[in-house]
Each structure stands twice: as C-alpha cells, then as structure tokens.
C-alpha cells in the first residue's frame, strides 16, 4: 500500500520535491509502462491542488494517443503540432498556457479548463509521451510548475521505457 501524506503548507518547490520522491517510490522496481503511467497520474492528482485533469498522451506514429489519466474522459488522438499537447510534442518544449482560450488551436476536452501545462517526456532525443495537466483556474501554472514537472518527466521517461 502507498499512503503518501500531502502537506498543504509546502511552497511549490517543496511540493514538487515531495511529489518527485513519491513518484520515485511508486515506480521503483516496476517495468510495466501502463502501471507506471497510471500511478504517476494518480500521485500528481493527489499532490497538486486545483486540477481537473492529469495524465499522459503517448506518441504512436505521428500522433499522440490518450494514456492513463485522472479526470473526465478526454479526446483520444491528437496529431503532432495540434493543440497544446501536440505543440509540446512537436517542439519537445514545455508549454505553460495561462489562458487556454488564447492558445491558437487549443483542443477543448472539458469546457471547465482555463489553464494548462504540457511537458514532453523525452527518451533518446524523441518525445515518447507528454504529461498534460489542466486546471479550472486561469494562470494556475507557472515556471515553478514547469520546472517541477520537467523533473517528473525524467522519472516518467525511465518508468515508461524500463526494461525488466
């Protein structure tokens, strides 16, 4: 059983440090990519406040395909270069979007979403997946979130590509 305690008094760097440690513990010794993406989505959801969606899209061919997540059902396939996720995947760069309505081509999966951050998961120079977080609050995500999630993406990269 994993019973992580979350402390609401932490600042963002401390929160992401705690999240990173919990994520490391969750994937330790496990090579199944679906199990690891599922648990990473769950621990993000548990640690980070004010989210309405958190999860993975995986690169399959020239598009992103929905992976394990927490939140409402979401769009399944996103071509590289489209929406926030497709832009992060095509550019291999984190996208911090304070106002999704101002992002050209944003793909609305949930009308409540107001801000979003998407972080690429890179292995051997290739974007193998993205981590997508949505919030109903405008400007929910900033550079501290991007930095914390980029560290988490390094753990995800190993956890998705782990060999037994």
Q: What binding mask, one character per residue, do residues 123-152 give for ligand SME by CB under 6 A, x or -?
A: ---------x-x------------------
Is 78 among the residues that bind ligand SME (CB under 6 A)?
A: yes
Least distance in angstroms from the C-beta of 149 to ligand SME: 15
| Other Cβ atoms closer than 10 A to 2 | 10
Give the CA diameter of the chain: 44
From the list 4-12, 35-43, 72-80, 139-147, the region that binds ligand SME by CB under 6 A is 72-80
Q: What binding mask, one character per residue, do residues 19-58 give for ligand SME by CB under 6 A, x or -?
A: ----------------------------------x-----
Phi-psi region of 119 (alpha: psi -120 to 50; beta: other; left: phi over 0): beta
Q: Tell me phi and psi for residue 109, to 5 degrees.
A: -95, -25
End-to-end CA distance of the chain: 22
CB 131 within 8 A of CB 151: no
Look-up: residue for tokens 């919990």?
22
Least distance in angstroms from the C-beta of 49 to ligand SME: 18
| Residues binding ligand SME: number (CB under 6 A) | 15
From the list 18-26, 33-41, 108-116, 141-149, the region that binds ligand SME by CB under 6 A is 108-116
Is 121 among the residues that bind ligand SME (CB under 6 A)?
A: no
Q: Which residues bind ligand SME (CB under 6 A)?
A: 53, 74-75, 78, 83-86, 106-107, 109, 113, 116, 132, 134
């Amino acid at each position: 059983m994993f019973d992580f305690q979350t402390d609401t008094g932490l600042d963002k760097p401390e929160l992401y440090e705690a999240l990173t440690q919990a994520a490391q513990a969750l994937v330790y010794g496990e090579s199944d990519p679906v199990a690891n993406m599922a648990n990473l989505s769950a621990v993000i959801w548990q640690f980070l406040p004010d989210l309405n969606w958190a999860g993975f899209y995986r690169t399959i061919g020239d598009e992103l395909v929905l992976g394990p997540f927490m939140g409402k059902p979401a769009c399944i396939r996103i071509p590289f270069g489209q929406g926030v996720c497709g832009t992060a995947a095509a550019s291999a760069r984190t996208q911090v979007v304070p106002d999704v309505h101002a992002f050209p081509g944003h793909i609305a999966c949930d009308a409540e979403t107001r801000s979003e951050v998407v972080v690429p998961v890179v292995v051997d120079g290739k974007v193998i997946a993205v981590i997508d977080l949505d919030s109903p609050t405008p400007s929910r995500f900033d550079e501290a979130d991007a930095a914390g999630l980029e560290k988490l993406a390094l753990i995800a990269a190993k956890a998705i590509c782990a060999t037994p």
